Amino acid sequence: MKPFLTIIACGKSSEHLNWKENYSLHGFDLALLQYDEFEYTDDNSLRAEYFIQKPGMKYTLINNFYRDFPEALNYEYTLMMDDDISTSPLEIEKFFRTSKEYKFDLCQPGLSRNSYFTYESTRKIENAIYHLTPMVETMTPCFSKNIIGTAVADLSLTKTGFGWGFEALWEKQFHQGNGHSRFGGLIGVIDNVDFGHYRKVMGNESGIYKKFGSPIPDMNSLLWRFGLQWHGGSEFVTFEVKNEL
């Protein structure tokens, strides 16, 4: 068991199929939660420590994964990545090492400047190591061992599995103020890595909503339950930037 785990809810167009490197040569384990019936034949898929093929949306699949493999809560850091993120095993390992070095409890990789994005504060700041924020988004959240149990316990709250609303909930659960965690670590975005999101955010045009239902009622129910509001991006701000020397 390596110190880090990358979980990808993936389909036939998953970007991990484009990795040129063998992930097993790097410092993380891989869990592939495949939501369609496409047959993977690449070495990275065949070497994955965990491989589950079952239909469903991302956070339903991850919730089921932890139900079946509770020992996976023991990784030092766990990255839950969408399958349309363009990166490499080398960059994933660098992301984990930086997260550990600076003692993050909750973080995500910064998106390249030409990526499609939802929140400005998720975009990569050039020549920075990281910047602090009050929360991260559901696209590529990473949790330390300190908080993963709390985060996973909340996954059953999303009926659709989209995870909309978790951003505000994670802020309530973990943020103490100015990008610092209630558990003693940091919250923010890791900038010294190469992660891209080059598929357009479809919003209500996405055909996936027709299959699994709209995530909006699910999100509103979650927010109402905890007395939260959707940020819409305006309150997802940058507190502090750690620049490279």
Please, how many CA atoms are within 13 Å of residue 225, restricted to the half-sphere of its CB? 13
**Which amino acid makes up residue 89?**
P
pLDDT tens digits, 153-164: 999 888 888 888
Taking CA atoms, 176 is separated from 180, 226, 237, in Å, by 6, 17, 14
pLDDT at 158: 87
Q: How many Å apart are CA 1 and CA 28, to the nearest integer?
A: 8
| Residues 134-150 pLDDT 10s | 999 999 999 999 999 99
| Mean predicted confidence (pLDDT) in 191-212 | 72
pLDDT at residue 220 above 90? no
Residue 127 has pLDDT above 70, yes or no: yes
Rounded to whole angstroms, the Cα distance separating 44 from 40 reads 9
Which CATH number applies to 4-243? Answer: 3.90.550
**Tens digits of residue pLDDT in 107-126:** 999 999 898 888 889 999 99
Asked if 89 contacts 21 with a C-beta cutoff of 8 angstroms, the reply is yes
- Beta-strand pair 180-181/104-111: unpaired
- pLDDT given at position 233: 56
How far CA 109 is from CA of 104, 119, 158, 195, in Å, comes to: 12, 13, 24, 7
pLDDT of residue 211: 60
Residue-wise pLDDT tens digits, 41-71: 999 999 999 999 999 899 999 999 999 999 9
Distances (CA, A) of 33 to 133, 158, 234: 29, 17, 33
Most confident of 77-91, 195-209, 230-244: 77-91
**Amino acid letter at 166?**
F
Residue matched to tokens 């992930």: 23
pLDDT of residue 203: 53
Q: What is the pLDDT of residue 165?
A: 85
Q: Name the residue ranges covered by the structural domains of the chain.
A: 4-243
Helix (H) or strand (E) holding 6: strand 4-10
- The CB density around residue 116, as the number of other CB atoms within 10 Å, is 13
Residue 32, pLDDT score = 98
DSSP designation for 123: B
For the segment 197-225, the average pLDDT, to the nearest whole number, is 70
- Residue 154's SS3 state is coil
